[in-house]
């Protein structure tokens, strides 16, 4: 790996101290991350053009102070467990607070500066019920590799800029057919814009449709990452409660509709409660949106996974007035780092969203779009979904059974009929923080639902993802939880 250090060869400060300080600062500023390998003394001495003894001296100091750790035979690494006090050592990034800088920031950047943001590494536990991860080990990697290599060799067009800001046309055609078969979505390939997942889809929609101060009605509790995008565009948030049949649509009638631009919903599998929006409420929502001239953002992120009853057709398919913007993603059915999602839009919005997309990132890589097209056209997507549905169904049954048998009356399980997570409500007289501590003490990771609530709530509620756990780990995880919570 390359490590750039600024050394002053004329300084009175000895070089070994400068190297030591440079690496230490890089660690504290998270430019070098825990567990990351640092260059060998030989290669660093070569790239900095100073003696290896000097570098060794600096490394020894960093090893002694616990910033680095050496693994015999495999190299030197940033220590995995940096003590907190090291991470909070004296400020090492000049002007770390962006708002105190002399650089004038945009309104958007001011929001970013005011909002705590850190992609935290997952806590290292043996059994993690973390939300949102599909069973990556089940992914047909050999098949994907084969399709990838065929496309790589076929021609060189994919190396060049794409001319279509909406995305690779054959992929849009394959998605349109899949959506009409599987989700009863009414659409033509011309209405689709391929995006970098749901996250970008939401951002693009807001750029095109929202003025700061406009209001968005949204489910409460709801999907935190969507809420963050809305806030970054300075939307006013109008939380609408949900119950076992999804969004309480009747509450929308009380809103001053001249302010409301959008309603964001996850009707097929409400996040995080798992409720399905009933047909009656779907029709009520469409009728309200049509009358109030409000657009609906339908986030259909994992509806492929339904157990027992039949998949509910998408809201978009019931709409005849062009009020629904449908968002889909391959993050759950395939794998999240693919970063391919899509928007199905009313035709008049397509050129604007495609233009905004091009301005933002030009295009999604063509090669991945081509491979995905082959994957869908050759029938692998649907057979993978069928296989995974059976896999998750088994995992889900083990989880629900274990939760019921260990916690009995002390637990309510919500949203077990769909998706790859459930939400549970514990009736234990233990605070959420204490529940998390106790779970961690037995090396089990669970996620509190409270951060997904906008208005207070969620105490005692947790999200348990089971996508990536095998049956033994699920049973063992719940056994361990019960042993410390009951
Ligand atoms: C409600 C909801 N929508 C969408 C997504 C997927 O987002 P993306 O497509 O950006 O990976 C998730 C992922 O966890 C989700 O929970």
Q: What is the pLDDT of residues 123-180, one digit of tens each?
A: 789 999 999 899 999 999 999 999 999 999 988 889 999 989 999 999 999 999 999 9
Integer Cα distance of 14 and 8 in angstroms: 9
Interval 304-357: pLDDT, tens: 999 987 777 899 999 999 999 999 999 999 999 999 999 999 999 999 999 999
Q: What average pLDDT does the chain have?
A: 92
Helix 197-209 × helix 224-232 angle, to 10°: 30
373 Cα to the center of ligand 1, angstroms: 21
Q: What is the mean pLDDT of residues 49-73?
A: 90
For ligand 1, pick from 136, 218, 331, 415 the residue to mutate: most ligand atoms within 8 Å of CB.
331
Rg of the Cα atoms in the chain: 25
Find the 340 Cα to ligand 1 centroid distance in Å.
Answer: 11
199 CA → ligand 1 middle, Å: 7
Write out the E strands in 131-265: 192-195, 215-220, 236-243, 246-247, 260-265
Residue 64 pLDDT > 70, yes or no? yes
Enclosing H/E stretch for 77: strand 75-78
Which uninterrupted H or E stretch holds 15? helix 15-28
Residue of 227, 242, 329 to test ligand 1 pocket, by largest number of atoms within 8 Å of CB:
329
For residue 341, report the distance from its CA to the centre of ligand 1, in Å: 10
Residue 197 Cα: closest atom of ligand 1: 9
Give me ligand 1 centre to Cα 291, in Å.
29
Token readout for 144 is 């994907």
Tell me the pairing of strands 260-265 and 215-220: parallel
User: What distance in angstroms lies between residue 271's CA and the mean position of ligand 1's atoms?
Assistant: 10
Res 95 pLDDT > 60: no
Tokens for 453?
Answer: 């609530």
Q: Where in the chain is the domain with CATH 3.90.1150.10?
A: 127-136+384-485
CA of 198 to the centre of ligand 1 (A): 6
Peptide bond into 221 cis (omega under 30): yes
Q: Which of 78-87, 151-160, 188-197, 286-295 has the least mean pLDDT?
A: 78-87
Average pLDDT value for residue range 230-242: 96
Residues near 18 by beta carbon (within 8 Å), at least 6 away in sequence: 5, 7, 8, 11
Measure the CA–CA gap between 329 and 316, rounded to whole angstroms: 15
CA of 330 to the centre of ligand 1 (A): 9
Ligand 1 atom with minimal separation from the 329 CA:
9
Query: Atom 5 (ligand 1): residue with closest C-alpha?
Result: 301
Within 6 A (CB) of ligand 1 lie 132, 197-199, 223, 266, 271, 299, 301, 329, 331, 336, 341
Burial of 424 (0-12, 13-18, 19+ CB in 10 A): buried
Assign domain 15-94 one CATH number from 1.20.1560.10, 1.20.950.20, 1.10.150.120, 1.10.10.10: 1.10.10.10
Predicted local confidence at residue 238, as pLDDT: 97
404-417 per-residue burial string, b: 16 or more CB within 10 A, e: under 16:
eebbeeebebbbbb
- Confidence at 257, pLDDT banded by 50, 70, 90: confident
Ligand 1 atom 7 nearest Cα: 198
Which of 134, 204, 223 to probe ligand 1 with, by most ligand atoms within 8 A of CB?
Answer: 223
Nearest CA to ligand 1 atom 6: 198
Query: Residue of the nearest CA to atom 2 in ligand 1?
Result: 301
Q: How far apart are CA 236 and CA 230, in angstroms?
A: 8
Strand residues in 336-472 grouped as ranges (E): 341-344, 411-414, 421-426, 444-445, 447-448, 461-465
Return the structure tokens found at 30: 């998270």
Beta strands in 260-330 (DSSP E): 260-265, 295-299, 324-329
Cα-to-centroid distance, 141 and ligand 1 (Å): 22
Tally of residues, the chain: 486
Q: Which fold is adopted by the domain 155-378?
A: 3.40.640
Rounded Cα–Cα distance for residues 288 and 104 (Å): 42
For residues 20-33, give the mean pLDDT: 84
Residue having the nearest C-alpha atom to atom 14 of ligand 1: 132
Return the percentage of the chain with pLDDT > 90, whole number: 74
Q: What is the pLDDT of residue 92?
A: 47
Write the residue with the smallest CA distance to atom 4 of ligand 1.
Answer: 301
Question: In whole angstroms, what is the distance from residue 276 CA to residue 281 CA?
Answer: 10
Residue 470 scores a pLDDT above 70: yes
pLDDT at residue 86, as a whole number: 61
Distance (Å) of CA 451 to CA 63, 69, 123, 447, 459 = 38, 35, 17, 9, 10
Q: Are the C-beta atoms of 460 and 425 separated by less than 8 Å?
A: yes
Q: Kind and range of the H or E element at 69? A: strand 68-71
Q: What is the DSSP letter of 418?
A: B
Protein residue closest via CA to atom 12 of ligand 1: 301
Determine the distance separating the centroid of ligand 1 and the alpha carbon of 301, expressed in angstroms: 6
The distance in angstroms from the start CA to the end CA of the chain is 49
Contact 439, 481 (CB under 8 A): yes
Q: Name the residue with higher pLDDT: 92 or 291.
A: 291
Q: What are phi and psi of 301, to 5 degrees?
A: -85, -30
User: Ligand 1 center to residue 403 CA distance, Å?
Assistant: 26
Q: What is the pLDDT of residues 393-426, one digit of tens each?
A: 999 999 999 999 999 999 999 999 999 999 999 9
CATH fold of the domain at 127-136+384-485: 3.90.1150
* Nearest residue to 354 (alpha-carbon basis) of 366, 342, 340, 367: 342
CA-based nearest residue to 432, from 463, 389, 470, 388:
463
Instruction: Report the alpha-carbon distance of residue 399 to residue 358 in Å, rounded.
Output: 44
CATH 1.10.10.10 residue ranges of the chain are 15-94
**% residues pLDDT > 70 (the chain):** 96
Q: Which atom of ligand 1 is nearest to the CA of 222?
A: 1
Where does the pLDDT of residue 301 fall: very low under 50, low under 70, confident under 90, or very high at 90 and above? very high
Point out the ligand 1 atom lying closest to the alpha carbon of residue 200.
10
Task: Tell me which of 17-26, 167-176, 234-243, 348-357 is least confident.
Answer: 17-26
C-alpha distances in Å from residue 83, one per residue of 29, 67, 87, 89, 224: 14, 9, 7, 10, 30
Task: State the Cα–Cα distance between residues 207 and 34, nearest whole angstrom.
Answer: 36
d(C-alpha 399, C-alpha 235), whole Å = 38
Predicted confidence band of residue 365 (pLDDT cuts 50, 70, 90): very high
């Amino acid at each position: 790996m390359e490590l750039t250090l600024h050394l002053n060869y004329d300084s009175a400060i000895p070089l070994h101290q400068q190297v030591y300080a440079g690496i230490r600062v890089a660690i504290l500023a998270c430019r070098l991350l825990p567990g990351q390998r640092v260059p060998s003394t030989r290669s660093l001495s070569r790239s900095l053009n100073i003696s290896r003894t000097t570098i060794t001296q600096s490394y020894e100091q960093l090893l002694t102070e616990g910033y680095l750790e050496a693994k015999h035979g495999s190299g030197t690494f940033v220590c995995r467990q940096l003590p907190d006090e090291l991470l909070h050592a004296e400020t090492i990034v000049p002007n770390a607070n962006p708002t105190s800088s002399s650089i004038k920031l945009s309104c958007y950047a001011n929001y970013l500066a005011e909002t705590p943001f850190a992609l935290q590494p997952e806590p290292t536990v043996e059994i993690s019920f973390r939300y949102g991860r599909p069973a990556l080990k089940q992914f047909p990697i050999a098949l994907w590799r084969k399709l990838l290599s065929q496309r790589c060799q076929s021609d060189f067009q994919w190396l060049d800029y794409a001319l279509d800001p909406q995305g690779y046309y054959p992929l849009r055609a394959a998605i349109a057919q899949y959506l009409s078969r599987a989700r009863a979505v009414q659409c033509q390939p011309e209405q689709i814009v391929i995006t970098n997942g749901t996250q970008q889809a939401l951002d693009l929609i807001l750029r095109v449709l929202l003025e700061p101060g406009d209001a968005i009605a949204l489910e409460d509790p709801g999907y935190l990452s969507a809420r963050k995008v809305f806030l970054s565009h300075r939307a006013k948030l109008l939380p609408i409660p949900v119950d076992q049949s999804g969004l309480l649509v009747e509450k929308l009638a009380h809103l001053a509709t001249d302010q409301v631009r959008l309603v964001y919903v996850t009707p097929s599998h409400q996040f995080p409660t798992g409720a399905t929006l009933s047909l009656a409420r779907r029709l009520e929502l469409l009728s309200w949106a049509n009358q109030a001239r409000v657009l609906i953002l339908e986030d259909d992120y994992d509806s492929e996974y339904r157990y027992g009853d039949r998949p509910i057709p998408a809201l978009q398919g019931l709409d005849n007035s062009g009020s629904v913007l449908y968002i889909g993603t391959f993050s759950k059915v395939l794998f999240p780092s693919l970063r391919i999602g899509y928007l199905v839009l009313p035709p008049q919005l397509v050129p604007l969203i495609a233009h905004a997309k091009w301005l933002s990132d030009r295009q999604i890589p063509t090669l991945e779009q081509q491979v995905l097209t082959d994957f869908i056209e050759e029938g692998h997507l649907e057979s993978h979904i069928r296989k995974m549905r059976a896999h998750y169904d088994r995992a889900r049954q083990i989880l629900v059974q274990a939760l019921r048998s260990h916690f009995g009356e002390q637990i309510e399980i919500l949203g077990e009929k769909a998706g790859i997570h459930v939400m549970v409500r514990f009736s234990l007289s233990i605070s959420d923080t204490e529940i998390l501590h106790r779970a961690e003490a037995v090396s089990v990771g669970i996620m509190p639902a409270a951060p997904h609530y906008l208005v207070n709530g969620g105490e005692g509620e947790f999200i348990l993802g089971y996508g990536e756990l095998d049956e033994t780990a699920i049973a063992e995880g719940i056994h361990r939880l019960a042993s410390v919570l009951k």
